[in-house]
Structure formats: C-alpha cells, structure tokens
Copies of this chain bind each other. A is one copy, B any other.
C-alpha cells in the first residue's frame, strides 16, 4: 500500500483491492439477507436542518450547492433547507422510516451499504469519504428487547464470515450506567458518560478530576463511577461485580438484566466473542440501552470497526416513535487495514478465467462462439483482439493475469492451456470447466504483519 490517494481522505482501490472490498460487501449482504434484512439506499444529501438536529457534528458536514457559471453559491449552515452530504446512514434511515412508515412491514429489518462523507482531518483509517454497512431493526411504537440479543449474534456471525481474524464485541448498556449513576446520586448522567468516554484517552486519574470538577461528583462518587467502568467480563459475572459496589436503582436493575441476556446468549452461542465492558459509552447520544463496539485483535488502535446500539426515539413523528437497534460496520476502515497488512488478498485482478486466442484475423467470429459457449456455463472469458503470434497472445493473458488460453483450431481440435503449469489438453467448449478455484478470483488469507 505505497500508493497514496490523489485527494487526501478519499481512498480509491485498484481492481485487486476492490475485489477484497467487494468480497466483504458480498459476504455481509449474504449474511444480512440470511437473517431477513432487506436492502435500501437513501439519497446522499439531506437538508442541513435534518442532519444537524442531533447536534455536535456540524463542522464535519459537507454542504452541497449548484455551481453557478462563473460565480459562487454560498453554502450556509444556518439555512435548514440547504443540502449537505450525509455523514452516517442512521439519520437518513430514521427519516426514511418516518416518511415511508405506511409502506413498510414492521418490525422493519434493513441493511444499507453506502458511502458517507465527513469533513474531518484525514488520518490512518479515518477518511473523508468511506463506506458503511448498517443493519437496523425498527419497530412501530415498540420493539422487543430480544432483538438486541439477535443483533449481537448477527454481528458475530457477519464478522466471523468475513474471515478477518480474531475480534471481540464489547457490549454495555446505557440503562446500567445511567441507573448506576442515578443510584449514586449523580443526576447529570450524560455528563458522567461524556467523562467516562475519555477514559482510554486521558486515564482514570484525569477522568476522576473531570467528574469532580465538571459533573460535581464527590470523590467517592467519582471512584465508584470509575470502579463500574473497570468491570470487564466474558460472561455474566459482571452482574455480581456491579452488585458488590453496593449501588441500587430500578434502572440499573433493568440494565443489568438486559446486558446479562445479551452477554449470556452470545457467550453461549458464540463462545469467546463477547465481553461485557462497562467502560463503553459510545459518543452519539441517541442510544438508550444496549451499546456495542468491536475491536479486531491486534488492531485495537484502529478503533471500533463495528458499533451500534439501541435507540428509543431516533425516528419519531408526532406521538409516533420507531424504536430500533442497529449497528454500523466501517467497511473502508476495515478494508484499508486488511489491504495494508495483506490480511486478505485477491489471487488475480481480473474476473477472466480464459482468453480465447485468434488463429487468424478471420477467426474472431469462431472465437466469439467459443466464448459464448463458455460464458453460458458461467466461465468468464475474453477474446484476443488480434491474431498476433500465439506467444504474444499468451503474453497478453499472462500480463492480465488470465490463467487459461484457448486455441480454437489445432491438429487435435480445440485445446486449452494452463499458462502457469504449461499443461495443454484437448477441450470441448460445451463441456470443459476450469478447476473451481480458477473460475473466479479467490480472496485468500495473506501475510498478517500488523
């Protein structure tokens, strides 16, 4: 990956790299559809007023306006009807659900894989244009909690199917944290969460100071909040550890029960993949219960590559609410790391399995007949553009990474040559098949230097 994007923050892949990305997207699509998720796409732009109502992200948003000949159009953040590129797929999805509720079959399960844009300073794994793959399940008025458990299972299944190595899903529950803070007597629960969210960045001592100065916690309250955040178990034993801190609150009880169900089910059905991590806060403030994030083992500094949670009121219209639970996979972030470390590599860059050669300039039509016969049986084929010497036509195939060349006419009739081994055999266009592993480019596990 010595190649640099010609426009910083806007990565573009070479064909063999795109095959890795396409493979990930295909595996995700397959997994999501096996779990009953329907695909949708939403438009790339939203009115600024729609995008910014959740606040705090205005600086990252790209505004959009028609270029007038020779003059400039001012893009304004203060005009709520001005258009801007979406920065995630959740906000547009919420709008889509509200707009189309009358046409959707609830609980509505959808997956969505699209580009999003953020005007952030580009860094390793952080782009200005990137692809996200989201799934959400949204109810009409209510959504059973069980879907929170199911989402964790789908997530583990999808990430396992991607074959990208070990990963851990870290899960927490907002009710657990908030109930605990309330039980402690700290009512500014959002303030506490914001401070706790900085734990990894600034350390426990500084978070403690923050809690005391910004949220008005006593030293004991701050220490208890930090003690909660230090709990991390691979099973439901976190419940006892929390209880041992001696804090009680109705909302805490609910959060403990929910988190125990998610962790218990996932630990049972997919051992070793889930961790209850009571430090997880997730930045965006629309989550109301379960929150998820995912680290790839050995690539923790990449941050979470799959995050999400339960929200009660992201989508609403009048008295109608559409609570949901969802998650979002950072496909570009993941792909860029998989490519950089050669964790996944494509074994050729072209779909073509066979090049049909031309014996002479008049044999193009016959070559097309062979190509058609092979394609009808699912074999990707190109026809040589001109009747150069066979050696040159073979070099053409070699240069493009095409494993087989076909000779339409020879003493023995049709023949096909594997240009890697040099083996050449008689072949019938109506029946010959390449080995299964040569039919299409294979995505293989490569080196795994971190």
Hey, which bits of chain A sit against chain B, CB under 8 A?
A: 3, 5-7, 10-15, 18-19, 22, 33-45, 47-48, 58-78, 83-85, 95-96, 99-100, 103-107, 109-110, 115, 117, 119, 129, 144, 146-147, 150, 153, 265, 268-269, 349-352, 364-365, 368, 375, 378-383, 385-386, 399-402, 440
Contacts and interface: CB of A to CB of B under 8 A. Distances in A.
A383 to B, nearest CB: 7
29 contacts: A3-B100, A5-B43, A6-B95, A6-B99, A7-B47, A7-B83, A14-B40, A14-B100, A15-B38, A18-B38, A18-B39, A33-B440, A34-B351, A35-B375, A35-B380, A35-B381, A35-B382, A36-B381, A37-B351, A38-B351, A62-B65, A67-B76, A68-B77, A70-B78, A71-B77, A71-B78, A105-B350, A105-B399, A146-B386
Contacts of A64: 62-64, 85
B70 A77 contact: yes
Given A48-B67, A67-B76, 20 more contacts: A7-B47, A7-B83, A14-B104, A18-B41, A19-B38, A33-B351, A34-B381, A36-B351, A36-B352, A36-B402, A45-B129, A59-B68, A62-B65, A64-B64, A67-B84, A70-B78, A71-B77, A72-B75, A75-B75, A105-B399
Contacts of A96: 12
Nearest to A71: B77
Contacts of A385: 107, 144, 146-147
Contacts of A129: 43-45
B39 A22 contact: yes
Contacts of A15: 38-40, 104, 110
B380 A33 contact: yes
B67 A36 contact: no
Nearest to A127: B43
B265 A365 contact: yes
A315 to B, nearest CB: 14
A380 B349 contact: no
A351 B22 CA distance: 20
A35 to B, nearest CB: 7
Nearest to A354: B36
Contact of A12 (B40, B147, B269): B40
A69 B58 contact: yes
